[in-house]
Amino acid sequence: MKLTYMQRLEAALRYKNGEGTYERIAKEYGIKQSSLQEIVSKYESLEKSGKGSLIEICRKYKIRSKMALRDRIKWYNGHMGSSKTKGQLC
């Protein structure tokens, strides 16, 4: 399954925030564990360079604040199990 940029970001943030193991999060997104590890690694390198910071993501997607981005991620994660919204981002 090919993930959108936001889905990759969400998966990386969920792992970084301790919301699950590589195995569990990868399964929820329908990807291999090694793919998630690569996504997290890329996120970490972007984060260190400043290109993957929450502020930069907000700017790129015209989201008004870091809190709004976090709220969007939480909303999306809460609806992942629903067949109506699975794979969609708002």
Does residue 70 surpass a pLDDT of 50? yes
* CA–CA gap between residue 8 and residue 44 (Å, rounded): 12
**Do the domain assignments include residue 90?**
no
**Do the domain assignments include residue 87?**
no
Q: In sequence order, what are the residues at sequence separation of 6 or more whose Cβ sits closer than 8 angstroms to the Cβ of residue 41?
A: none
**Do the domain assignments include residue 54?**
yes
**For a pLDDT cut of 90, what percent of the chain falls above it?**
34
For residue 14, give both structure tokens. 């969920």
**Do the domain assignments include residue 12?**
yes
What total number of domains does the chain contain? 1
Q: In sequence order, what are the residues at sequence separation of 6 or more whose Cβ sits closer than 8 angstroms to the Cβ of residue 43?
A: 8, 9, 12, 13, 16, 52
Does residue 71 surpass a pLDDT of 60? yes
**Do the domain assignments include residue 53?**
yes
Q: What is the pTM of this model?
A: 0.58
**Model confidence band, residue 29 (pLDDT cutoffs 50, 70, 90):** very high
Domain that holds residue 42: 5-78
Specify which of 24-33, 52-61, 71-80 reaches the highest per-range mean pLDDT: 24-33
Q: If you average pLDDT over residues 45-74, what whole number do you get?
A: 76
**Do the domain assignments include residue 50?**
yes
